[in-house]
Amino acid sequence: MRLSAVGYRYGWRAPWVLSRVDLELRPGDLVRVGGYNGTGKSTLMRIIAGAHRPGRGTVTGRPRRSAYVPGQLPPIPLKAIDYLLHCGRTQGLSTDETEERASGWLERFEALSYRKHRIGDLSRGTAQKVAIVQALLTEPDLLVLDEAWTSLDTSGQETLDGIAREVAGRGGRVVYVDHDPQRLADDATAALVLRDGILTQASATDFELPLVVIDLENAPDPWPGPGRGRLLADGLLRFEVEPDGSDRLLQEILAVHPKIHVLSVRTVDGAAAQAGRAS
């Protein structure tokens, strides 16, 4: 699959969000795309997946079985299984095939018990698992993950890590964006950064973006969510998130766990956060 001189803008008088993107995706590739918020990463992900047409340039060789997972599933007024059955029908699967595959994936994500819940009533993390499952129904040869880990609990994030490796391992193509600088770092076949509308090879520091570090007291152990935290030796629970997602995460945590105490909130650079994880 190849993107050649791809550009995109939202309106003919608007500036080009993507000016000239060249990218080749081969079977087995697991490619990370980074960059600051607002640089056009999500636009690029949708073009790769086929959800957007480029404003200029060409996309050729996209696999027929392509799937896209956004960072959040809208509150669709359907039960999870009914939504997945609808997705299966639109992709040419029979009801029995979809039921079997959907149940298998939901069970792997520890979400089978929610199959008959309305999506709008689910937590963000469980709804996100449904969004991932719909993308996996046809065993895609191209899987595009646009911050798909963001709302998942630790177990869900690890499961998605494994799925990305499996898709690439069987000869599929995986392209992903995520705010964790270590996400699949040892597995990625390429790390690229989007800057000024152009995709280039990433440097060692391109994923070390500023992070907000949140330390919490009185958190349940193990942490059930939302978000992905890690337990420190002194019993604190720590989160490291992008600045524009910190307020939302805190609101979600306090809504679900009102007895938690927020000990500190501070901003650090990504390199400092990575050093802290290693120590």
pLDDT at 25: 97
For residues 188 and 231, membership in a common domain is answered with: no
Last residue in a domain, options 150, 168, 201: 201
> In the prediction, which pLDDT does 28 show?
97
d(CA 123, CA 152): 10
Q: How far apart are CA 222 and CA 102, in angstroms?
A: 27
Same domain, 94 and 181: yes
Contacts for 246 with CB less than 8 Å, ≥ 6 apart: 212, 214, 265
pTM of this structure = 0.77
| 164 shares a domain with 78 | yes
**Does 117 map to a domain?**
yes
What type of residue sits at position 263?
L
Tens digit of each residue's pLDDT, the chain (279 residues): 999 999 999 988 889 999 999 999 999 999 999 887 678 999 999 999 999 999 999 999 999 999 999 888 888 889 999 999 999 999 999 999 999 999 999 999 999 999 999 998 998 889 999 999 999 999 999 999 999 998 888 899 999 999 999 999 999 999 999 978 789 999 999 999 998 999 999 886 777 667 788 999 998 877 777 776 777 767 888 887 777 778 888 888 899 899 999 999 988 765 444 445 544
Domain contains 233: yes
Residues 104 and 187 in one domain: yes
The helix or strand, by DSSP H or E, that contains position 244, with its residue range, turns out to be: helix 243-256
Cα(48)–Cα(148) distance, integer angstroms: 15
> Does residue 230 sit in the same domain as residue 194?
no
**Residue 270: which domain range?**
211-278
Residue 38 inside a domain? The answer is: no
Amino acid at 270: G
Tally of domains in the chain: 2
> Helix 124-136 vs helix 80-90: angle between axes, to the nearest 10 degrees?
20
Candidates 110, 70, 243, 270; CA nearest to 183 is 270
In a domain, 34, yes or no: no
Please report the pLDDT score of residue 209 as a whole number. 66
CA 167 to CA 11: how far, in whole Å? 35
> Maximum Cα–Cα distance for the chain, whole Å?
55
Q: What is the CATH number of the domain that holds 103?
A: 3.40.50.300
| Spatial contact of 220 and 183, defined as CB atoms under 8 Å apart | no
Q: Do 237 and 274 belong together in one domain?
A: yes
